[in-house]
Structure 1
Amino acid sequence: MTESLTVRYLGGPTAVLETGGLRLLVDPTFDAAGGHPVGDRVLTKTMDAVAGPDEVGPVDAVLLSHDQHPDNLDDGGRAYVARAPLTLSTRAAADRLGGTVRALPAWEHAELARPGGGVLRITGVPARHGPDGTEHLTGPVTGFVLTGDGLPTTYVSGDNASLDVVREIAERFAPFDVALLFAGAARTPLVDGELTLGSAGAAEAAAILGARQVVPLHFEGWAHFSQGRDTLAGAFAGFSGGFHLLDPGQRVTV
């Protein structure tokens, strides 16, 4: 019998995952709404955080898609990572953040011991943060796949805009029990094109992955998202699996 996965959506890319007796935090962002400089640009957060670090409490690991953009790791998130027991991310993030941040290259894995025995395996998987050829502008990003005996096979996309990358991941791991898809069709003047999957792309990704359950993340709360709740609901109207468009603070067990 496969155990469940509980997802609590905290807004933006941030979510608490509970499975196999372990707690994980995805892309911690805790700051209030306002402007966040990125070089000579400013990303504008439009929603306050719905939970702070104290309410989230301790976790066994942080899954950090990347550290170079404040919509994925803001000041409050950096403070949280600094005291977390383990953060898995890109090599660049590990070099910049130091401490307990560990690089998890694509197709390599880390294992967390489960309280009741066994392990949760976390595999780093590719992600492409924008159209082909823009990696030098957007920087490295990673996604994650969670597996383990009796646990739901789960994909956490990170800021990935490439369906070719999704196909590559599906070839190794599909079908998926759960897909957490970053899906706001982010756009900035830095790049001509979408920096993350749009709603239709997220629906296509779910089909490629053979996902039974989908929980969108990172589709609201920032001004640079070009799509959101309405377009996601429309794109997944014909989805045959479970589609969970959560409100900030809401949780679902799948």
Structure 2
Amino acid sequence: MPTTAITYIGGPTALLEYAGLRIVTDPTFDGPQTYSAPGTTTLVKTRGPGVSRTELGAVDLVLLSHHGHKDNLDYEGLELIAGGVPTFSTQQAATDLFGGSLIGLDDWESQEIGGLTVTAVPALHGPAGSEQRTGPVIGFVLEAPGEPTVYVSGDNASLPLVGQIGERFPDIDIALLFAGAARIPAVDAPLTLTSADAVTASRMLGAGIVVGLHTEDWQHFSESRDDLRAAFAGTGMLVLTPRGERVVLAER
């Protein structure tokens, strides 16, 4: 069976090699800059990607947790999707982006591609009631015959939802968790998992392998990659993923 491997690119973005497919999570490939528009929260990107979009090579699938925030889909990320790469995201993204290759999924809806089954799972981008401000978000569970089951959290901050996902998928082997405890002035709570919550989520899922994403490169993260490592110290779960380097997660 193919090797499961990951290359951490930056922010929420990684290249996951799984079941023979090359899969990109929340594509952000812009250089450092400030994103500001009327009626939106200004976001500041502090570092560019470890692998540029042009260096990325072939991509078989994009998993886009949501499209409304530049720290999850930036201009270069849009260029990647516009090139016709099959993309799974929210129904709102499918409506707004009008992409023929973008398929909107509801919670618990599954789609197959290349022998891989992708199931959209619920996510909450902040505390209860924040949906009106932060918009719809989803995560993903990936399954393929003979392969480890993979959970990609997207910008989820809700442990109760993690519990629901664990009940539906009791055999999750690898968890890609968006942490960083993102914060904005308008919401007095983390919009993504804290480092401590990431540890709790991993244990709730029974995941033996954890990859931390979305912990650096943006000013609105209140916890760092070092904070995540400290929270997981002694657990043996967190895999170190040097920027731009391919790391094998599982071999069959």
The TM-score bracket by the shorter chain reads: over 0.9
In structure 2, the partner of 1:22 is 21
Q: Contact conserved, 1:31 with 1:76, CA < 8 A, in 2?
A: yes
- Number of the residue aligned with 1:105: 106
Q: State the identity as a percent.
A: 51
* Maintained 8 Å contact 1:58/1:84: no
Query: Who is 1:211 aligned against?
Result: 207
The equivalent position to 2:165 in structure 1, one of 142, 155, 169, is 169
Q: Tell me how far 1:57 sits from its aligned partner.
A: 1.9
The CA distance in 2 between the partners of 1:131 and 1:245, in whole Å, is 29
Residue 248 of structure 1 is matched in structure 2 by 243
After superposition, the CA RMSD in angstroms is: 1.2
Secondary structure at the aligned position of 1:234 is classed as helix
Q: After the TM superposition, which of the residue ranges 62-71 and 4-13 deviates more from structure 2?
A: 4-13
Q: Distance in 2 between matches of 1:41 and 1:134?
A: 14
Conserved? CA contact 1:185–1:198, under 8 Å: yes
Runs of at least 4 residues of structure 1 off by over 4 A? Answer: none
Gaps spanning 5+ residues in structure 1: where? 114-118
Give the 5 Å matches for 1:55-70: 55-70=55-70
Contact 1:59/1:84 (<8 A) preserved: no
1:178 maps to 2:174: yes
* 1:237 and 2:233 correspond: yes
- How big is the shift at 1:247? 2.4
Q: Does 1:136 align with 2:132?
A: yes
Q: Is the 8 A contact 2:41 2:184 kept in 1?
A: no
Partner of 1:54, secondary structure, is coil
Question: How many residues matched?
Answer: 247
- Residues 6 and 252 in structure 1, CA contact (< 8 A), matched pair in contact too: yes
Distance 1:40 1:210, change over 3 A: closer
Q: Does 1:46 align with 2:46?
A: yes
Question: C-alpha displacement at 1:251, in angstroms?
Answer: 2.2
